[in-house]
């Protein structure tokens, strides 16, 4: 039969999503529903000297107004769930509603609950708060300097942690190396911008003591866990439902104070309460990503061999330590510095710094794009200094295929890899030699053409739970599935992960359909409800398919094995004498004996005639905990033309060659790569969250924050190599973040290559026309 595994069938979830038939959190309608709105601080850093809610409480339709005083003793604080070892992380209290101080523009000060959304919004304006403004500082490097305003009394100097990793002897290596390069790199703040803003509907039943929380979550089990801490409510009294979730990109991993406040209101009032942020609130209060100031160096030999890399990084944490915030610039960043290369000497130092900006947490790639960006910028800079071709330098330094599994200097063990063919394929697709000739010709005409290469590895498929514990991640990282077969042979699969756009309702059905030899239409994938799904840890870190998909496959295999026992019994044959035909168990070589999956589903469920010791029913569960992370890799190449007069960057071609192991569905893989690449190009060319000196977010709307538009983006040409992972039964590696990991580096490398004749060696992203023009002016010695 044709295999469904590997087939590019269309996403089964799309029809309901694109025809308005899907239910998002804000669509949840309940009898007696009240609506909440937050009063948020207009100041980045200020002492609260007075809050008067009396006028708001008297406003039409207002049910209740809560401030920190009302929560006192009844709730916990907002937890940070990632405490990396050996870095003395300081986690200052993050109150659900600000009490004495506000620490970023958007910090919640009060919650209004009213009969309608508009009434709640109107009442916000009637709350009278006096603030005593204090100094702001959003730049993480500046906030770490003496004399910066101090945001938390228990974190003098604002440095939340200093973390190091590495291997070899970088200090000695930088002494003896022949070629040394260094860069100061700013990795700007980004706004995740999921199309669906955050939303929460809390419904507390005072009779049963149960709280049901619908929330925009990438990980409802983690939300249940963290909400139990915030609300001081036992975990078994909380049901968390993530209905359709309209994108997250990491921003819907964290537990936010907002859903805790809304839940608190529902618990107080005994009626359901809904809150949905608007886009302005989303930009101010939903986590931001990146925010590094980096001093990075690379060294090596004149022959192009790279021998060392070291860094000092100021990583912004924002105003508070968000759920996974401290883990991102450390574990998910520092451990990736070897990239695709054998670099024996690595020294990484990261200062996590509290600032007066919105908290920083995971944004697509989370730490790994920052690492890939600085490594790939350094490789290009190093190649130029050594007088070598950047593609040749990459080839020379790649970890050779025969060395896998391979432990790099940062201590992590790459599961598998074969980096040369992906680079070669990408160069061939873009006609590297031909482009270099065209570039030389263009330069004689004063045109700026450039080509940029980015080769990457990614640590994803998070990950072994034992490692999660060792690196201070406050959760497990296994995942789970229950495969339940109905009497008619149709199947529901309950999974612990929580897809929100990645297409696992399709790909996981393909995995099960392949195992059972039944149509995908006969399989439903159920996710996003802690009441019905087994304990799992959510969808992020490109983990869902590698970890949860493996659990699905194992559970399906267990079902198939039970079906085999029943088939053997019905056929009065030994199990060893049976063979699987692809759709049925039969006596080897005797087609007339075939017991189809449907036959066996009925037999198992009615249980009229089962073998001794076999229980009725046909279902199985599995918890899969991988033995290692997976390490997808690839090379992206981009060609650009820069308008030397306006500074505009035009991407001519973008080629992505990725290796994420075998594809369950090549169309979905391609879609993931496309989306990731576009987010990386947005980061490279146009996205930046800008604050003013007083800590106000200036790019607080889509009129100023440049989310990529289709008309602005190039066609992304995709191709693949396939190197299966040995660490999971599907052989798959993550592809959800892959496109984002190195695309910004490829684009910036291309622009710097285009402008190399002017002596330009680096421009900080985003490469907006104004920035590129300014760099050209500076290089030309023009008046600025």
Partner 1 sequence: MIPATFEYIRAGSLAQALALLGSHEDAKVIAGGHSLLPVMKFRMAQPGTLIDIARVPELHGIDRHQGDLRIGAATTYRALLQSRLVSEGFPLLHECVEDIGDVQVRNRGTLGGSLAHCDPNSDLPAVMLVLGAKMVCVSAKGTRTVPAAQFFTSAFSSALQDGELLQEIHLPPLPAGAGTCYHTVAQAASGYAMAGAAVVVTKAGGKVTSAKVALTSSGDIGRVVDTSAFVGSDGGDAALAALGAAASALTDATGDLHAPADYRRHLMGVVTRRAAATALSRAK
Q: Residues interacting with partner 1, by CB under 8 A?
A: 117-118, 121-122, 125, 278-280, 645-648, 685-686, 690, 698-699, 702-707, 709, 712, 768-770, 773-774, 784
Closer CB to partner 1, 498 or 686, in the complex = 686
What tokens does 324 get?
């996974």
Structure-token pair, residue 470? 């060792």
Cross-sheet strand order for the sheet of 595-596: 578-580, 584-587, 595-596
Looking from the CA of 221 toward its CB, the CA atoms found within 13 Å total 21
Do residues 15 and 521 touch, judged by C-beta distance below 8 A? no
Q: How far apart are CA 628 and CA 462, in angstroms?
A: 8
Element (H, E) at 266: helix 257-269
Q: From CA 525, how far away is CA 541, in angstroms rounded?
A: 20
Pairing assessment for the beta strands 128-133 and 34-40 based on DSSP bridges: unpaired
With beta carbons less than 8 A apart as the criterion, state whether 594 and 585 touch: yes
Q: How far is the CB of 770 from partner 1 (least distance, A)?
A: 4
| Closest separation in Å from C-beta 650 to partner 1 | 12
Shortest spacing between CB 645 and partner 1, in angstroms: 5
Of the two residues 100 and 278, which places its CB atom closer to partner 1 in the complex? 278
CA of residue 151 relative to chain centroid, distance: 28
Q: Closest CB to partner 1 among 35 and 419?
A: 35
CB of 366 to partner 1, least distance (A): 24
3-state secondary structure 406-472: EECCCCCEECCCCHHHHHHHHHHHHCHHHHHHHHHHHHHCCCEEEEEEEEEECCECCCCHHHHHHCC
- Please check whether residue 634 is in contact with residue 658, taking contact to mean a CB–CB distance below 8 angstroms: yes
Closest C-alpha to 361, from 393, 320, 314: 320
Integer Cα distance of 240 and 528 in angstroms: 8
Q: How far is the CB of 67 from partner 1 (least distance, A)?
A: 22
Closest to partner 1 by CB, 124 or 317:
124
| 118/171 with CB nearer partner 1 | 118
Kindly state the smallest distance separating residue 705's Cβ from partner 1, in Å: 6
Nearest approach, Cβ of residue 112 and partner 1 (Å): 13
Rank residues 276 and 338 by Cβ distance to partner 1 and give the closer one: 276
Closest distance of CB 27 from partner 1, Å:
18
β-strand pairing of 238-241 with 128-133: unpaired
Distance CA 657, CA 451 (A): 15
Q: Of 326 and 647, which has the nearer Cβ to partner 1?
A: 647
Q: Maximum distance among all alpha carbons in the chain?
A: 92
Q: How far is the CB of 682 from partner 1 (least distance, A)?
A: 9
* HEC profile of 146-170: CCCCCCCCCCHHHEEEEEEEEECCH
Contact 495, 480 (CB under 8 A): yes
> Between the CA of residue 123 and those of 64, 108, 727, what are the distances in Å?
10, 15, 55
Nearer to partner 1, 357 or 489 (CB): 357
Residue keyed to tokens 């007075």: 50
Between 278 and 303, CB nearer to partner 1? 278
CB of 59 to partner 1, least distance (A): 12
Are 97 and 108 contacting, i.e. CB atoms less than 8 angstroms apart?
yes
* Residue 526, SS3 per DSSP: strand
Nearer to partner 1, 369 or 682 (CB): 682
Under 8 Å between Cβ of 136 and 695: yes
Q: Residue 180: beta bridge partners?
A: 299
Minimum gap (Å) between residue 116 Cβ and partner 1: 10
Of 572 and 645, CB closest to partner 1: 645
Shortest spacing between CB 195 and partner 1, in angstroms: 15
488 versus 701: smaller Cβ distance to partner 1: 701
Q: Between 263 and 686, whose beta carbon lies closer to partner 1?
A: 686
Q: How many CA atoms lie within 13 A of 132 on its CB side?
A: 6
CA dist., res. 315 & res. 558, Å (int): 46
Q: In terms of CB distance, is 446 or 589 closer to partner 1?
A: 446
Classify 21 in phi/psi space as left (phi over 0), alpha (psi -120 to 50) or beta: alpha
In the complex, the smallest distance separating the C-beta of residue 277 from partner 1, rounded to whole angstroms, is 9
8-state DSSP, 270: T
Q: Which is nearer to partner 1, 372 or 689 (CB)?
A: 689
* Rounded distance between C-alpha atoms, residue 690 and residue 702, angstroms: 13
- Hunting for tokens 């490789």 — which residue is that? 379
Cis ω before 405 (30° cut-off from 0):
yes
Output the smallest distance, CB 713 to partner 1, in A.
11
Choose among 240, 173, 233, 222: nearest CA to 28. 240
Min. distance of Cβ 232 from partner 1 in angstroms?
A: 32
Q: Please give the structure tokens belonging to residue 225.
A: 């866990």
Residue with tokens 């507390």: 204
Nearer to partner 1, 14 or 704 (CB): 704
Q: Of 279 and 558, which CB lies nearer to partner 1 in the complex structure?
A: 279
CA-wise closest residue to 603 among 568, 554, 552, 558? 568
């Amino acid at each position: 039969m044709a295999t469904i595994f590997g087939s590019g069938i269309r996403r089964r979830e799309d029809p309901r999503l694109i025809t308005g038939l899907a239910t998002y959190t804000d669509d949840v309608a309940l009898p007696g529903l009240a609506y909440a709105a937050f009063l948020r601080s207009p100041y980045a850093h200020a002492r609260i000297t007075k809050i008067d809610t009396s006028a708001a409480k008297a406003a039409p339709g207002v049910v209740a107004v809560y401030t920190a005083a009302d929560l006192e003793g009844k709730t916990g604080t907002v937890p940070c769930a990632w405490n990396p070892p050996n870095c003395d992380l300081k986690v200052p209290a993050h109150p659900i509603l600000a009490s004495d101080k506000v620490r970023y523009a958007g910090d919640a000060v009060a919650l209004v609950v009213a009969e309608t959304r508009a009434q709640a919004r109107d009442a916000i304006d009637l709350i009278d708060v006096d603030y005593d403004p204090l100094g702001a500082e959003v730049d993480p490097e500046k906030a770490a300097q003496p004399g910066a305003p101090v945001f938390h009394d228990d974190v003098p100097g604002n440095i939340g942690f200093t973390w190091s990793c590495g291997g070899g002897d970088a200090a000695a290596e930088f002494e003896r190396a022949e070629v040394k390069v260094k860069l100061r790199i700013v990795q700007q703040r980004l706004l995740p911008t999921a199309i669906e803003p955050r939303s929460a509907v809390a419904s507390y039943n005072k009779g049963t003591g149960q709280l049901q929380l619908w929330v925009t979550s990438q990980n409802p089990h983690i939300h249940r866990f963290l909400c139990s801490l915030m609300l001081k409510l036992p975990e078994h009294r909380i049901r968390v439902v993530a209905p359709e979730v309209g994108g997250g990109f990491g921003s819907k991993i964290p537990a936010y104070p907002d859903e805790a406040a809304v839940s608190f209101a529902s618990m107080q009032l005994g009626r359901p309460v809904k809150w949905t942020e608007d886009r302005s609130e989303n930009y101010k209060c939903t986590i931001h990503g990146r925010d590094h100031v980096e001093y990075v160096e690379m060294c090596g030999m004149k022959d192009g061999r790279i021998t060392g890399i070291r860094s000092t990084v100021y990583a912004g944490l924002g105003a508070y330590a968000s759920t996974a915030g401290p883990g991102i610039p450390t574990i998910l960043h520092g451990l990736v510095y070897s990239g695709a290369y054998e670099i024996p000497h690595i020294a990484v130092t990261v200062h996590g710094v509290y600032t007066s900006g919105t908290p920083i947490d995971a944004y697509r790639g989370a730490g790994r794009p920052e690492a890939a960006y600085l490594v790939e910028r350094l490789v290009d800079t190093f190649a130029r200094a050594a007088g070598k071709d950047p593609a040749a330098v990459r080839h020379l330094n790649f970890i050779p295929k025969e060395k896998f599994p391979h432990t790099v200097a940062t201590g992590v063990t790459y599961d598998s890899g074969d980096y040369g063919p992906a680079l070669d394929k990408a160069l061939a697709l873009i006609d590297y030699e031909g482009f270099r000739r065209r570039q030389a010709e263009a330069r004689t005409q004063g045109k700026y053409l450039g080509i940029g290469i980015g080769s990457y590895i990614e640590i994803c498929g998070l990950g072994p739970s034992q490692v999660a514990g060792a690196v201070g991640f406050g959760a497990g990282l296994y995942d789970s599935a229950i495969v339940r077969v109905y009497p008619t042979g149709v199947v529901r699969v309950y999974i612990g992960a929580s897809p929100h756009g990645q297409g696992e309702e399709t790909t996981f059905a393909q995995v099960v359909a392949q195992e059972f030899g039944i149509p995908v239409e006969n399989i439903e994938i159920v996710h996003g409800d802690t009441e019905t799904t087994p304990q799992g840890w959510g969808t992020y870190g490109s983990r869902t398919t590698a970890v949860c998909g493996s659990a699905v496959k194992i559970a399906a295999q267990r079902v198939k094995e039970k079906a085999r026992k029943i088939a053997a019994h019905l056929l009065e044959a030994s199990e060893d004498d049976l063979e699987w035909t692809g759709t049925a168990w039969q006596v080897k070589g005797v087609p007339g004996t075939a017991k189809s999956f449907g036959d066996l589903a009925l037999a198992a469920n009615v249980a009229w005639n089962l073998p001794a010791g076999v229980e009725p029913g046909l279902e199985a569960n599995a918890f899969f905990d991988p033995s290692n992370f997976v390490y997808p890799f690839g090379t992206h190449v981009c060609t650009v033309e820069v308008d030397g007069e306006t500074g505009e960057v035009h991407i001519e071609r973008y080629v992505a060659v990725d290796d994420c192991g075998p594809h369950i569905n090549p169309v979905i893989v391609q879609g993931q790569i496309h989306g990731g690449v576009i987010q990386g190009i947005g980061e490279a060319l146009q996205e930046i969250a800008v604050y003013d000196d007083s800590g106000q977010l200036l790019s607080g709307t889509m009129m100023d924050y440049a989310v990529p538009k289709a008309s602005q983006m190039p066609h992304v040409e995709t191709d693949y190599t396939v190197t299966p992972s040995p660490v999971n039964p599907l052989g798959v590696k993550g592809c959800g973040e892959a496109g984002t990991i190195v695309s910004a580096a490829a684009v910036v490398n291309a622009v710097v290559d285009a402008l190399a004749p002017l002596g330009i060696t680096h421009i900080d992203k985003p490469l907006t026309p104004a920035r590129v023009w300014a760099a050209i002016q500076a290089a030309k010695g023009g008046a600025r």
